Structures are given as structure tokens and as C-alpha cells.
């Protein structure tokens, strides 16, 4: 039997992110927006898509994939 989960392969910043809208949207800090810039850490991402919903899908894109392992 296989167990499958979705993972984030990449977090792409497509446009400038607004600090007021996007600074605290990620619950696991996979996307951190500060006045100094944006830091994205796909390995921390839960693929909850909060960043796309709150910052805008035209500004942030999560590239995801399925990973399956045999149990």
C-alpha cells in the first residue's frame, strides 16, 4: 500500500509583494516578507495556499508535486 502526500517543490514570487498584505500570511514561515525583501523556503511549505489567497495568485505561485512511498 502506498502513502502519498503533496509537497512544495518551489515557491515563485511573480510580482512585488506588499509588506502590509503579505508579511504574516504563512503559518510555517515558508514565505517571509520583510522590508528587506522576500525569503521563500519550499521545504517548510505545507501547501496550504494561504500566500496565494491573501497575497494574490498573480504574485505568488506554489509549484507542488505528489510524493508516494510504499508502506
Walk me through the domains of the chain, giving residue ranges and CATH numbers.
Answer: 2-70 (3.30.70.20)
Please give the Cα distance from 22 to 12 (Å, whole number). 14
Mean pLDDT of 2-17: 95
User: Which pTM value belongs to this model?
Assistant: 0.86
What is the pLDDT of the chain when averaged over all its residues? 94
Count CB atoms within 10 A of the CB of residue 13: 17
* pLDDT at residue 49, rounded to an integer: 95
Give the confidence band of 62 by pLDDT, cuts at 50, 70, 90. very high
Alpha-carbon distance values, 66 to 14, 19, 29 (Å): 23, 31, 21
Mean pLDDT of 7-33: 94
Amino acid at each position: 500500500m502506498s502513502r502519498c502526500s503533496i509537497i512544495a517543490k518551489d515557491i515563485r514570487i511573480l510580482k512585488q509583494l506588499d509588506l502590509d498584505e503579505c508579511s504574516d500570511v504563512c503559518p510555517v514561515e515558508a514565505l517571509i516578507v520583510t522590508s528587506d525583501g522576500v525569503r521563500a523556503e519550499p521545504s517548510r511549505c505545507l501547501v496550504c495556499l494561504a500566500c496565494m489567497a491573501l497575497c494574490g495568485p498573480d504574485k505568488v505561485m506554489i509549484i507542488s508535486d505528489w510524493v508516494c512511498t510504499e508502506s
